[in-house]
Homo-oligomer: A and B are copies of this chain.
Amino acid sequence: MAHSHDMPTDLTRNQELVLGTLTASSGPLSAYDILDRLRTEGLRAPLQVYRALEKLVDRGLAHRLESLNAFVACADAHCHRKGLIAFAICEGCGKVDEFADAVIESRLGAWAHAEGFKVERTTMEIRGRCAQCLKAA
């Protein structure tokens, strides 16, 4: 079974560094977190990171978590380039779980259709505690 994080071969150096940092992290990172981890690689300015993140997010290789102002590597590259993705974010350990639900997507689509609203992008983020953290407590 192939690893989900095989890195595409057509990334630029900065994109590759940023995606590598996200992939190596156990949880979401802010752009400035990423920058700090890449200073040894020569990155100096926030914009270098933000530009790489923009491309990665456009390509679905990374996601932005709006409620955290942070980013994660896509956990599941083969299936969600399109469509609605939900994130479950554990406040305890920072772990982020990524999932899709066709029923939710279709309910949203139905609402939008009824209202005449054209959906461009959907953010869905659940905050709480994961099973492991609940058990530990």
Contacts and interface: CB of A to CB of B under 8 A. Distances in A.
Given A116-B131, A118-B134, A126 B108 contact: yes
A88 B115 contact: yes
Contacts of A99: 111
Interface in A104-137: 104, 107-108, 111-112, 115-131, 134
Interface residues of A, number: 33
Given A108-B126, A122-B127, A88 B117 contact: yes
A101 interface: yes
B123 A124 contact: yes
A41 interface: no
Interface of A: 66-67, 86, 88, 90-91, 97, 99, 101, 103-104, 107-108, 111-112, 115-131, 134
| Tally of this chain's copies | 2
Given A103-B107, A112-B88, A66 B126 contact: no
A126 B131 contact: no
A64 to B, nearest CB: 9
B112 A101 contact: no
A108 B103 CA distance: 10
